[in-house]
Amino acid sequence: MTSITPPARAWLPRVARARANYPETCRMEETRSEEITRDASAVLMEKDNRPIVIENPDLVAVVKVEDYTPENVKNGLTRLLDLLKPSFLAGSLEGKSVFLKVNALAPKALACTSTAVTGELSKILQDKGCKKVLVGDSNFNKALTAVTLKTMGFSAIAERLGNPVVNFFDHAWVPVSHASFQAGPITSIPEPVAKADIVINLPRMKTHAGFVFTGAIKNFFGLNAHKNRMHVTNKDKVRFQQMLGDIHQAVLVSAPGSETKPVLHVMDGIVGMDGKGPAGGKERAFKVLIGSFSPVAVDVVAFTLMGGNPLELEAIQSLGKRNGWPATIDALRIVGDDWRPLVQKASLPPLSVLRSGAQGEANASGFMQWATQVVIRVNQRRCKKCLACVKHCPVQAISKQGDKIVLDETKCISCFCCGECCPNNALVPRIRLTELVMQKVLPASLVITAIVIFLVILARFPYT
């Protein structure tokens, strides 16, 4: 293959260097995303097959942090880094760039990584000599991402660091192809992330009404150029979770030559969310920071601390298996504070969400599988008809009919994007069986009970 790699593009992954002019043509415009995806598929790319080697995939640091006071957060992060000893911190960070991939899901404080963790970590990196610490993310579209980054305080942190905050929709997306990809041949990641020397993933510890849990693995979905399309092409939730794994692989191989990019994952679990997460759940203080070079290890520990069983989550197990990274609590080397007293009984979405939606329904065999599925309902009283859900549903399952927002269950893929973007928490997941009991069985049994009581009274007091 003739190399067209100019020196300035040396940072690009090998596959992207082969088409060094490609990123210029795929500057993201929301309206052009479909077209760009077709272009990306059309580009013939050489598959990268470098081995992926990360530092200590079995090592996890658990550090108790009482609250978000700057001193506590700083001490917690410093201790966590001391426990993990990342090789990139062995010397000075001068001349290196570090990208902090925050969670800026929606303009709701609890839905995003805390600014306390982001801000204190960026100061530690600066103290290590790093002059280029970048902060960024993307959610549903360019405008909502900009609002979220600004109102949640990430823009102010970036300004203090001397770099503009990174809204991925303002940048090019670099196509990457690696032999380990499972959901498709190409994954595009944002140029600032592909270009960074080091990436630090900062997820928040939350439940997810569509995927049970969202942590280090799911937080990289913000790096995907075509979120709606990814939901459509990966309706099957197993495949969707393989696609999330592909994004992690893409970031790791976005280092020059045959290197693996250093990626550190630090879970913000000081205050997390349970119930109907990831945007509309309830605040729950887990009082913990969890760090590892493996997103699998971070998620195993986080989900265990929430009271869940990581063996039941496909995203964790499949990415662990793919790379040979330990994916059970017993296989991990957990350092720092004793994690056992920190385990809570958080309110977790039912596992049946993983086989819900039109696809799950088609696969359901038997009444119980059908009855335990989760369906999304619109709370018409809470709904303010802003139409955000209509705009962002990847399969156009929601529409406005008259003065009501209506959801077509036969189209719904149970991704919960609508719930994530609804500013009023008006989209609520319900288990079919519970709904059936509440709406049909309970009223009917109340009527029957009332009739029985009436008949008993009539029998005992016939002349009343």
- Of the pair 98, 417, the CB lying nearest ligand SF4 is at 417
Q: Tokens representing 457?
A: 């009274």
**Residue 417 in contact with ligand SF4, rule: CB under 6 A:** yes
> How far apart are CB 9 and ligand SF4 at their closest, in Å?
38
> How far apart are CB 228 and ligand SF4 at their closest, in Å?
9
- Of the pair 165, 389, the CB lying nearest ligand SF4 is at 389
**Residue 388 in contact with ligand SF4, rule: CB under 6 A:** yes
- Of the pair 40, 426, the CB lying nearest ligand SF4 is at 426
**Residue 393 in contact with ligand SF4, rule: CB under 6 A:** yes
What is d(CA 16, CA 40) in angstroms, rounded to the nearest whole number?
11
- Applying CB under 6 A, which of residues 233, 424, 428, 433 lies at the interface with ligand SF4? 424
Contact 267, 305 (CB under 8 A): no
Q: What are 267's strand-pairing partners?
A: 290
Q: Is the peptide bond before 70 cis (omega within 30 degrees of 0)?
A: no
Inter-CA distances, 57 with 102, 199, 294, Å: 22, 16, 5
- Applying CB under 6 A, which of residues 43, 238, 364, 395 lies at the interface with ligand SF4? 395
- Applying CB under 6 A, which of residues 386, 428, 433, 437 lies at the interface with ligand SF4? 386
- Of the pair 249, 414, the CB lying nearest ligand SF4 is at 414
**Residue 73 in contact with ligand SF4, rule: CB under 6 A:** no
Segment interacting with ligand SF4, rule: CB under 6 A, options 83-91, 173-181, 416-424, 431-439 = 416-424
- Applying CB under 6 A, which of residues 371, 407, 428, 437 lies at the interface with ligand SF4? 407
What is d(CA 376, CA 385) in angstroms, rounded to the nearest whole number?
17
- Of the pair 286, 416, the CB lying nearest ligand SF4 is at 416
Listing DSSP states for 92-151 in one string gives: --TT-EEEEEE---SS-GGGS--HHHHHHHHHHHHHTT-SEEEEEE--SSHHHHHHHHHH
Helix orientation angle between 142-151 and 154-161, rounded to the nearest 10 degrees: 80
**Residue 147 in contact with ligand SF4, rule: CB under 6 A:** no
Inter-CA distances, 451 with 286, 437, 457, Å: 49, 19, 10
Residues binding ligand SF4: number (CB under 6 A)? 26
> How far apart are CB 110 and ligand SF4 at their closest, in Å?
17
Evaluate the CA torsion angle 102, 215, 351, 442 in order and state its sign.
negative
Which residues, other chains included, contact 310 with Cβ-Cβ below 8 Å and sequence gap of 6+?
A: 299, 300, 303, 304, 316, 317, 327, 328, 329
- Of the pair 79, 227, the CB lying nearest ligand SF4 is at 227
Q: Tokens representing 346?
A: 């958080």
Interaction site with ligand SF4 (CB under 6 A): 376, 378, 383-389, 393, 395, 397-398, 405, 407, 412-418, 422, 424, 426-427
